[in-house]
Structure 1
């Protein structure tokens, strides 16, 4: 549950940052590649952190 909330928060933060930077229009149906890259990178960071925590 905690991981799901982290992923949702990360997606909201990356979408908010992309919107604030002017990369996305206010309403869009297809996100730009930069936004997808930010989300994928964040998910990867969360996944690696969880894997390292489990490994210890």
Structure 2
């Protein structure tokens, strides 16, 4: 356990500004990909629905 404490003291922790910047990047990336995949899902669903109606 002593080794763990010693190693924890040697870790270079990120600053509050770095944490905020990284958090913003992660949130924006998740939002972007959520919208991207949502639109992609909507397009494919519409295309498959159109193809199914075309075949019947």
TM-score of the two chains, using structure 2 as the length reference? 0.48
TM-score of the two chains, using structure 1 as the length reference? 0.48
Which structure: larger Rg? 2
Structure (1/2) with the larger helix percentage: 2
